Structure formats: C-alpha cells, structure tokens
Amino acid sequence: MTSPAPLARRLLAELVGTALLVTVVVGSGIAAERLSPNDVGLQLLQNSIATALGLTVLILLLGPVSGAHLNPVVSLADWFLGRRAGRGLPASDLGAYVVAQTLGAVGGAVLANAMFDVGTAVSGKDRFTAGQGLGEVVATAGLVAVIFALARTGRGALAAPAVGAYIGAAYWFTSSTSFANPAVTIGRVFSDTFAGIAPGSVPGFLVVQLLGCVVGVALTLALYPDSGQSADDVVVPQERDARPAPDTLHTP
C-alpha cells in the first residue's frame, strides 16, 4: 500500500513554491521596470518569460512532494473532481493547502521587495474592469482544463512545461495578464511595483477566478467525464511512501 507524503511536508512545499512563484512574478516585474523604464511592452515580455520559466522549474522541483498546485483554484478543482472517486486532495487538507499557498504568496512579495530594496507597501494599482474580469475567467478555466487533461491522458510529464507555457502565453492573450491564482492575487497586493494590485481590485479578481474554476471543471468533465480518476496526478504525480501491505494470511 502507498500513501501521500505527510501533510506537513506537502504544506511546506506549497508554501515555499507559492512564495517563490510570487517572488519570480514580482521580482522580474521590478527588474523589468528598471531595465526598460520607457517600454511597457518589453517590461511585460520580460515579466512573462521569467514567470513561465520559473513556474516550470517550481513544478519540477516540488511536484513530487505536494503535486505543486501552488494555486487555491487548482486545489479546489482537484478536491471536487476527485472526491467521488476517492482520489485527489482530501477535503480535510484543502483548507490547509489554501492557507499555505496564501501565506506563501504574501511572503514571496515581501521577499522580492526586500531583494530590490523597494520596501513593502500596499499597491495602488487599480486593475479590475469588466474586460479584465472576463480575461481572468478565460485564463483560469484554461489553466484548470490543461492541468486535468494532461493528468487524465497520462501526460503528467508534460505538466511543468505545458503549464508554464500556458501562463506565459496567457500574459499576452488575456486582458488581465493572467493572474489565474487567488493566492498570487492576494500576494501582489503587498508590492507597489509593476506587478502590484490594489486591494480594491482583489474581490473582483477572486470572484471571477472562482467562476473560471467552475467553467474549467465543467469543460474538463465534458471532455473527460472520468477525469476524477486521475486527480492524484495533479499537477504532477506525487511520490508516495510505501506502507507494508496488511497481513492477509492471518485473521484475528
């Protein structure tokens, strides 16, 4: 018999992974502003490339421990799709994952601020509009569908580059530049820099990200009705600790 890694190890992986993801997003945004101060398009290109590559590496590094969800939407979808099949993230672990991801995101923003000596301050960048809200629904739904389609079709080995590529592309084809992650959205509040987001914009983004999760789950079920059977392999399969098989030769 096998079982997932202990919850404490998985939560550490989710906290560290989400922290480093936000560090990449915020840090590369600060660097882009400094390197290309008069070219916003180039800044976004630099920010998106760094984020795509950084996310790919983090999934490869931490996926075997926790699955490398690094995103409350992914954890929520994993629980929902896997619950009927007795697979995926247990309900008892879902809240802990979300807390670890959110705390990690805030810590990652603070770390990026400290590395670039900008000081931690609440962002003043108002971002949310109806168009950006629609962009977030598209970005989040697509992310969920990509992840679960890969797991269902046994292509988990491609999850790291595919997810990194999708997020990198969604920076450009969505009007919101693809947050697609409630924890990262909250973390970005704590950096008044290129990647920052004002607190007043957060509730709108969280609502449409959850809506995107619903759309992504619905699309996944329409395409792959039995996708819940592969929920243990999201985002990538976790290594499992071996447990001795029960002794079936003796009865009490």
Q: Is residue 9 part of a domain?
A: yes
Q: What is the CATH number of the domain that holds 184?
A: 1.20.1080.10
Q: Is residue 145 part of a domain?
A: yes
Q: Is the dihedral of CA 140, 101, 237, 89 positive or negative?
A: negative
Q: Is residue 242 part of a domain?
A: no
What is the average pLDDT score of the chain?
Answer: 93
246: three-class secondary structure by DSSP: coil
Provide the angle, in degrees to the nearest 10, between the axes of the packed helices 130-152 and 159-173. Answer: 160
pLDDT < 70 positions in the chain: 1-2, 240-252
Q: Residues 96-139: pLDDT tens digits?
A: 999 999 999 999 999 999 999 999 999 999 999 999 999 999 99
Q: Is residue 34 part of a domain?
A: yes
Q: Is residue 237 part of a domain?
A: no
Evaluate whether 191 touches 84 at the Cβ level (below 8 Å). Answer: no
Q: Is residue 217 part of a domain?
A: yes
Residue 196's domain comprises 2-232
Q: Is residue 151 part of a domain?
A: yes
Domains of the chain: total: 1
